[in-house]
Structures are given as C-alpha cells and as structure tokens.
Amino acid sequence: MSKKPIGLLDSGIGGLTVLKAAKKMLPHESFVYIGDSARNPYGNRTKEEILSYTNELVQFLLEQDVKMIVVACNTATALTLDYLREKLTVPVIGVISAGSKEAIRLSTTKHVGVLATQSTVDSKFYSQTIQAEASDIEVRSIACPEFVELVESNQHATPVAQKVVSEKLAPLKNQSIDTLILGCTHFPLLADFIQKEVGSGVQLVDSGALTVEYIKDTLEDLSIGADKSSPDPSTKIYTTGDPELFKAIAEDWMESKSLEIEHITLKGLIDSERK
Ligand code: DGL
C-alpha cells in the first residue's frame, strides 16, 4: 500500500480527461497534475523540445513524491515513453496502448481512424501499435492541431469549434471507418461535435480514459494502491499558464467548483524568459 499521489502530466488542459476518469475509478487515490499550458501546443514541436519539456514536468512530479507517472498526453507518450521507462524507477504509463487495443476490439470494418497532433501522426505510434497486433487493420490518421487550440482557449463548446470540427472531419464522411480514436487527450472535450460530424455509426474511443484500467492494474500488480480506508485523498493541479483560464475550463470539465489550481514556473520557462 502507498499513500503517495499518482502524478499526471500533459502539455496543458487535455490530461484532465484522464484525471477525471482516474478520480472516478480510483476514488481513494491522491493525484498531482501538471499541465504545461505556457508552452502548449507540444504537437508541432521538435522531438528534442518535447523530450526536454516532458523531462521537466516529470522532474516536477518526482519532487512531489509521486508513486507513478501517467503521461496523459499522446504526443509526449509517442515521443518519450520508451526513454522515460528506461530512465525512471517509478512505473510510467502512456495513453496510446489502451486506445489502440480497444479500437482493434471494436472495429469490424477493419478501418480505424486516429485524430491526433501532427507529432503523434508523424511518429506513427498508433498505426504501428495497432498493426503490430492486427496487421489487417488499416489506420487513417488525421492531424488536428486546431482542436488543441480551441480547448486551450476555452472555445471548445462554441459554434466556432463546431465549424472547425465539421470542416476538418469532412473527408472522413462516408468512409469505411467504423472506429475513431481520440488520439489526443484534449479531444474528448470536443467529443459531441466530433460524434455529430462522423455520425452515430462510428464509435469514438477515448484513449486517455481507457488508460485508467492500466493505472488500476499497475497499482494492484505492484501493491502500491492507497489504503481504501485512508481519509481525504487530495488532488493538486498545477499549470505553467494562466491559472484563471485553466480553472474556468477545468471546473467545467471536472464538474467541480473546488479545484485547487496553482500557477508554477518551471526552470526552462525562467531560462527562456531571461533570453
Ligand atoms: N494533449 C496532447 C496530446 O494528447 C497534446 C496537445 C498539444 O500540446 O499539441 O497529444
């Protein structure tokens, strides 16, 4: 048993989709979340930048004495998971595997779509993960960086967002894709618009939320889950960006008015401000 918190990281607000599902399934656990909104988006950055920023977020979480790191960002998972697993002694969980497995299970047409950032698409992590297990599945990936911006600016529930989603997903209409992976943790906030656009015949897969099963299994396998009788689990949320904007989006998404959100400046950000 371990009372230590579980650490989650993302390039911004998106990882809250994982946190929300994790809090629901693991109500006795404490969590520390860090979102790097000041340097968002990660999805069109170089591998070196993504590696360096993710390292900083990991360092911050380790300073909070977390027992596990959840890379609640597909982009960071695609580009840093192997490196982090090799380097860290705490367990590291990414968000790509769970969604890939679920898509393989669900697809009957054997045509799976993936909506993700440019870096995730370029990494081919999804197509390789899916085809390693199911070589007969055809994977069509679409980079949707515009979606990330809509969420980070709290515009994801507006008519503007609906229009952007509709234009972006038009090429997917009347295709044989029957399963669509939300391969960026920001995208579940746009799920209603996405579903409306692709139609009810296409099943959406929330890769991040499905990852919580992996978190649960890992806690059990390593016997590091919180004692179910331990009182008052805590959730601390940190952002490198504007805490008020983050709070507005987070409270709405998490359906909670009492979230503790704190602004934090990481070393790399101080250095870049000095330049
Ligand atoms: N939420 C992130 C993901 O899952 C990335 C968004 C971004 O920073 O571009 O890929």
Question: Is there a single domain that holds both residue 80 and residue 116?
Answer: no
Percentage, residues of the chain above pLDDT 90: 89
d(CA 63, CA 76): 20
In a domain, 128, yes or no: yes
What local confidence, expressed as pLDDT, does residue 229 receive?
79
257 lies in a domain? yes
Selecting among 8, 9, 71, 73, the annotated active-site residue is 73
Q: What are the two backbone dihedrals, phi and then psi, of residue 182, each rounded to the nearest 5 degrees? A: -80, 90
Render the burial of 244-257: b for 16+ CB within 10 Å, e for the rest: eebbebbeebbeee
pLDDT band at 1 (very low <50, low <70, confident <90, very high): confident
- Structure-model confidence comparison of residues 6 and 257, the more confident one: 6
Residues 254, 169 share a domain? no
What CA–CA distance (Å, rounded) separates 67 from 72? 15
Atom of ligand 1 nearest to the CA of 10: 1
74 and 84 together in one domain: yes
Atom nearest to 184 CA in ligand 1:
4
Q: Are residues 146 and 226 in the same domain?
A: no
Asked if the structure places residue 243 within a domain, the reply is yes
Q: Indicate the residue among 166, 192, 208 that finishes a domain.
A: 208
CATH of the domain at 108: 3.40.50.1860
Supply the pTM of this predicted model: 0.96
**Is the Cβ atom of 57 under 6 angstroms away from ligand 1?**
no
Count of domains observed in the chain: 2
Same domain as 105, residue 44: no
Residue 40, ligand 1, Cβ within 6 A: yes
Is pLDDT larger for residue 84 or for residue 231? 84
pLDDT top residue among 93 and 273: 93
Q: Which residue has the higher pLDDT, 52 or 256?
A: 52
Task: Report the nearest atom of ligand 1 relative to the CA of 145.
Answer: 9
* b/e 66-76 (16+ beta carbons within 10 angstroms → b): bbbbbbbbbbb
Cβ atoms 84, 69 nearer than 8 A: yes
Q: Is residue 88 part of a domain?
A: yes
Whether 111 maps to a domain, the answer reads yes
110 lies in some domain: yes
Q: Is residue 122 part of a domain?
A: yes
262 backbone dihedrals φ, ψ, rounded to 5° = -125, 140
Residues 187, 61: one domain? no
To test the pocket of ligand 1, the residue of 75, 146, 240 to mutate (highest count of ligand atoms within 8 Å of its CB) is 75
Helix axes 145-152, 159-169, angle to 10 degrees: 170
Q: Is the model's pLDDT at 271 over the cut of 80?
A: no
pLDDT tens for residues 165-202? 999 999 888 789 999 999 999 999 999 999 999 999 99
Residue 195 and residue 101 share a domain: yes
- Same domain? For 19 and 105 the reply is no
pLDDT in tens, 196-224: 999 999 999 999 899 999 999 999 999 99
Residue bearing the CA closest to ligand 1, atom 2: 73
Asked if residue 219 and residue 89 are part of one domain, the reply reads: yes
167 CB neighbour count, 10 Å cutoff: 11
**Measured in Å, how far apart are the chain's first and last C-alpha atoms?**
45
Tokens of 34: 């860090």
- 1 located within any domain: no
Where is the domain boundary, 208, 234, 253?
208
Residue ending a domain, choose from 208, 227, 260? 208
Residues of the domain holding 178:
97-208
- Quick one: 186 and 258 in the same domain? no
Indicate the pairing of strand 68-71 with strand 111-116: unpaired
Choose, from 34, 70, 177, 184, the residue flagged as catalytic. 184
16 lines ligand 1 (CB under 6 A): no
Radius of gyration of the chain (CA): 18
Same domain, 175 and 131: yes
Mark whether 145 and 161 lie in a shared domain.
yes
